[in-house]
Amino acid sequence: MERASGSHETIVVWKVGGSILSGTKAYRRVALYLKQRTKVAPEEKLVVVVSAQKNATSVLERRARHIVRSPGVRALDLLWSTGELRSVAVLALHLEALSVRVVGLNVHETGLQIADAAGVNSPRPTLVGRSLRHAVASHAVVIVPGFLAARADEAIVTLGRGGSDLTAVLLAIGLRASRCELLKDVPGYFEEDPHRNACAAHLPSLGFDEALRMAERGCDLVQPQALQAAAYSGLSLVVRSLDERAPSSVISRCAEPSSAVSDQEQFTAEA
């Protein structure tokens, strides 16, 4: 495994969803949480993948369609990217205010690249370049935008609904991270939607095949492409909330995946 720097340091990838990033207080709360993590586990280098602030992507799309009814894909992807980049900068600033060694990266510095023009429909992102690894080596926390990648011609493309999950998984694979955690507004998986049924049973562990079946039934907690990529690479995922006292769910190869690898050739990650 490649270490960020030093023989005892490990890389942990965290993804913070837009449902958590609801406003200034929320960014501050996440920053405080990450600062605490650097104190509790100083040997861990944190790569934090952020989504746009809650509802920002929808607002940006409405603005685009107010200008032109059918906006071009390239222009719309570029506009959408401003939401994620704002999140990167805002969270980095909050961490700077807490005296954390942090840096925020843009899409191209992060290094996820789409191999072909098909882009959004069948993404095959590859981690290229060394900017991200260099940033990890010299900072306690590196903030990167989710949902986004670049084409070979450097145009920005988006990775579909829930694409920040895929960003986190691919970076964890490419960086050979020790752990990949997806922070949501619920503490993992439940047998039913806990927003609708407060008594729904929590699932502390499940296989990739089960998570994908739940996605097919309408559970959009983790993007299916991210589940497929993690299953193919054998990367276990921890799905949890910011509440340390709450339970979490671990998705792993506790059962041999079936449909989980149906699109396995779509995903690659260079070490």
CATH number of the domain where residue 71 is located: 3.40.1160.10
Domain containing residue 108: 10-266
Residue 257 lies in a domain: yes
Does residue 141 register a pLDDT over 80?
Answer: yes
Q: Which residues, in sequence order, are CB contacts of 19 under 8 Å at separation 6+?
A: 54, 184, 185
Per-residue model confidence as pLDDT tens digits over 83-97: 999 999 999 999 999
Q: How far is CA 194 from CA 28, 167, 187, 199, 216, in A?
A: 26, 26, 10, 7, 18
Residue 1 lies in a domain: no
Per-residue model confidence as pLDDT tens digits over 203-240: 999 999 999 999 999 998 999 999 999 999 999 999 99
Residue 32 is predicted with a pLDDT of 97
Residue 233 lies in a domain: yes
Residue 244 lies in a domain: yes
Residue 3 lies in a domain: no
List 141's β-bridge partners, or say none: 46, 102
Measured between alpha carbons, how far is 3 from 252 in angstroms, rounded to an integer? 23
Residue 56 lies in a domain: yes
Residue 271 lies in a domain: no
SS3 188: coil
Domains in the chain, number: 1
Residue 5 lies in a domain: no
Sign of CA dihedral 162, 232, 133, 177: positive
Per-residue model confidence as pLDDT tens digits over 173-202: 999 999 999 999 999 999 988 878 888 899
Q: Percent of the chain beyond pLDDT 90?
A: 75
